[in-house]
Amino acid sequence: MLDTHARKYVQPSIDKTAHYLLKQGRSANQITITALFIGLGTSILYMLGHPVAAVVLLWFSGFLDAVDGTMARHTKTSPFGTVMDITFDRVVEVGIILAIAYVHPDVLWPLLLLTASIIISMTIFLVVGAVSEKAGVKSFYYQAGAAERTEGFLLFSIMILFPDYLLWSTLLFFAVELFTGIQRFMEAAKILK
C-alpha cells in the first residue's frame, strides 16, 4: 500500500540516486546485486547482536531496490533483471526470517506461519503478473496490496528492534500478509475472468 501510494514522496531522491549511479557507469543489475548483499548483511548483523545497524542496512537495501528499478526504466529493462530483483527480494526476506529464528528459536512456529503467508501472497502476485495482460510502469502487472515491500520492512524492523513483542509482531505480519494474499486473489478473480 505504501509502495503504491507514498512512492511519490521519496521518488525524487530515488531519481537523483539513479541518475548519479547511471552517470558513474553502474547498471541496474549491479545495484540489484549490491542491494542483495546489503540486505543479507541485515541478517548477519542481527545474528551478531546489532539490531539497530541491521535495520539501517535493511532500509538501505530497500532504497537501492527502488533505485535499481528506476535505473532500469531510464535505460533498458530486462526480463532477467526483473527475475533477479524479485528473487533477491525474497532471499533477503528469508534471510531475515532465518536470522530471527536463529536468535529466537522459541518463535519458530509463528515465523513458519509468516513464511507460508509470504509464499502464498507472492505466488498470487507473481502468477497474476505473469498471466495478466495489463501492464504498469514496471515490466509486469504490479498488483498492489495491503502489504507491499515497505510494510514488510516496517514489520521486520519492529520484529528486529522489539524482541519482547516478537511473537505478536510476527503474528501481526502473518495476518497482514494473509489478508494481502486474499485481497490479491479476489482481485485476480475479477480481472482475469
The contacts of residue 127 (CB under 8 Å, 6+ apart) are: 188
- The stretch 41-59 carries a mean pLDDT of 98
Give the DSSP letter string of 79-122: HHHHHHHHHHHHHHHHHHHHHHHHH-GGGHHHHHHHHHHHHHHH
- Smallest CA-to-CA distance from 2 within 129, 153, 190, 175 is with 153
Q: Give dist(CA 102, CA 108) in Å, integer.
A: 9
Which pLDDT score is estimated for 65?
93
Report the share of the chain in percent with pLDDT over 90.
67
Answer for the pair 55, 163: CB distance below 8 angstroms, yes or no. Answer: no
Looking at residue 132, its pLDDT comes to 77
- What is the reported pLDDT for 192? 82
pLDDT digits (tens, 9 = 90+) for 160-177: 999 999 999 999 999 999
Q: Is the pLDDT of residue 179 over 80?
A: yes
What is the distance between the alpha carbons of residues 45 and 99, in angstroms, rounded to a whole number? 9
Grid coordinates of 15:
531519481
pLDDT, average across residues 149-166: 95
The C-alpha cell at 175 is 495476518
pLDDT value of residue 190: 87
Smallest CA-to-CA distance from 190 within 128, 106, 120 is with 128
CB neighbour class for 53 (10 Å; exposed up to 12, middle 13-18, buried from 19): middle
Domain 2-191's class? mainly alpha
Output the pTM of the full model: 0.89
Dig out the grid coordinates for 138 from the structure: 514496471
What's the pLDDT score for residue 175?
95
Set of cell numbers at residue 61: 537495501
Average pLDDT in the chain: 90
- Range of lowest pLDDT (15-24, 69-78, 166-175): 69-78
Q: Across residues 27-44, what is the average pLDDT? A: 97
Q: Measured between alpha carbons, how far is residue 171 from residues 13, 107, 161, 167 in Å?
A: 33, 10, 16, 6
Alpha-carbon separation of residue 138 from 62, 81, 135, 143, 162 (angstroms): 17, 11, 7, 11, 34
Digit-coded pLDDT (tens) for 92-149: 999 999 999 999 999 999 999 999 999 999 999 888 888 876 555 555 566 677 778 8
Three-state DSSP at 2 gives helix
